[in-house]
Structure 1
Amino acid sequence: MQGYHRRDFLKISMATLAAAILPRTALAAIQASDERRTLSFYNTHTGERIKTCYFENGDYCPDGLARINHVLRDHRTGTISEIDPHLLDQLHAIKRNVQTDQPFSVISGYRSPQTNRQLRQNGGAVARKSFHTMGQAIDVRLPGLSTQRLRRIALDLKAGGVGYYPRSDFVHLDTGPVRSW
């Protein structure tokens, strides 16, 4: 270890270990909590609105998750898929951070592989293996909150991918590796 002393190595090792062990994000605090978690959605393509509890008494609620899966379905094909509950936890952390009961406006939730292929063929900036096709991504905006601020809050969670689309006025969130664009 040229350029480092043993003491420096130990300091760096301890800092890395502490960072890995200590909960650092709002998401970690929420996931550790047994509090009741409720989300509201407005699907911009279907006009559907829901407000539902998806987590209660220390566990995810199958009925609430099913209602969310339905509203976040692929609006082009009608295909419903399971949405990753950790994605919902990200949204809940954002909602708590801004202390709002406004529904998330959903631009895109689940996307079937067929729809994903179609969007790619039509020249859309769509990933070949999109997290949308696995129920692990959502494109949203939140009324009363700029998408720039929504992006900042999502980045601070350090819980997955965050894409910012200011021209289209939405933020992409996913449960993949932490990254941003």
Structure 2
Amino acid sequence: MSIELAMSRRDLLKRSVVAGITGMGAFTFSAPLLASTGLLLPANYANQADAAAFWAKPRVLNLYRPSTGEHKQICYWRDGHLDLAGYREACHMLRDVRAGKATEIDLRLLNLLRGQQGWLELAYGFKEPYQVNSGYRTKETNEATEGAARDSYHTKGQACDGKFPSLPIEYQGRLMSAFRTGGVGFYINRQKFIHSDVGRVRYWVR
């Protein structure tokens, strides 16, 4: 296979990352450069066939919980169906650690996390686990969380706070924002992390 053909195949895969999140759409590789980081962001949606090809593959999440030391690679979807054992494991990884309780995590949130990881894998061969600071929260934990919204999407299993430690926070937030699937919060002061949820589309910086 020539270098040109190999690059074309890789670009085709990159175009297929976001399907299944917003109407089975995906981003093309005509991606803008985030000048402050030198990293590429997805720009436009690919066609349905390319998108379906990407999302037909097993969906694997590489997750790390610093509060517990857990690190797992979890396949929650395979052969066109939810992998129940993997899904339960993903829900456990995104549990309320403080309360010791888990809930059913919205599949759209898992797909969003997978879409982000898939883009980075295909664009850069990036394999670092996603550091989950907070997933599901009980109402009690949410009330005890500084700055948490009263009706937070965390209490519904529809939000995740986290980051890739080696990537710029601004880039990670812009990457999540490109999916246009819900809220994205840029927490750039103390802990430095990105909030992502599958509620209404909105953005904020703190």
TM-score where L is the length of structure 1 = 0.80
The answer for the alignment partner of 2:170 in structure 1 is 148
1:105 aligns with 2:127: no
Match status 1:138 vs 2:164: no
Offset of 1:53 from its aligned partner?
0.5
- The answer to whether 1:89 aligns with 2:111 is yes
Which whole-Å CA distance do the structure 2 matches of 1:90 and 1:131 have between them? 15
Shift of 1:47: 1.1
Aligned-partner Cα distance in 1 for 2:159–2:82? 18
Where in structure 1 do 4 or more consecutive aligned residues deviate above 6 Å? none
- Give the structure with the larger helix fraction: 1
TM-score by length of 2: 0.71
Aligned to 2:8: none
The range that moved more, 132-141 or 26-35, is 26-35
Please tell me the root mean square deviation across aligned C-alpha atoms, in Å: 2.3
Find the counterpart in structure 2 of residue 173 from structure 1: 196
* Contact map agreement 2:132 2:162 (CA 8 A) in 1: yes
Deviations 1:41-87 (A, max 9, x none): 11121111111111111112111111111121111110111111110
CA contact under 8 A between 1:106 and 1:140: conserved in structure 2? yes
1:4-43 to 2 correspondences below 5 Å: 23=25, 29=51, 33-43=55-65
Q: Any stretches of 5+ residues in structure 2 without a counterpart?
A: 1-21, 28-44
- Name 2:71's counterpart in structure 1: 49
Name the count of aligned residue pairs: 158
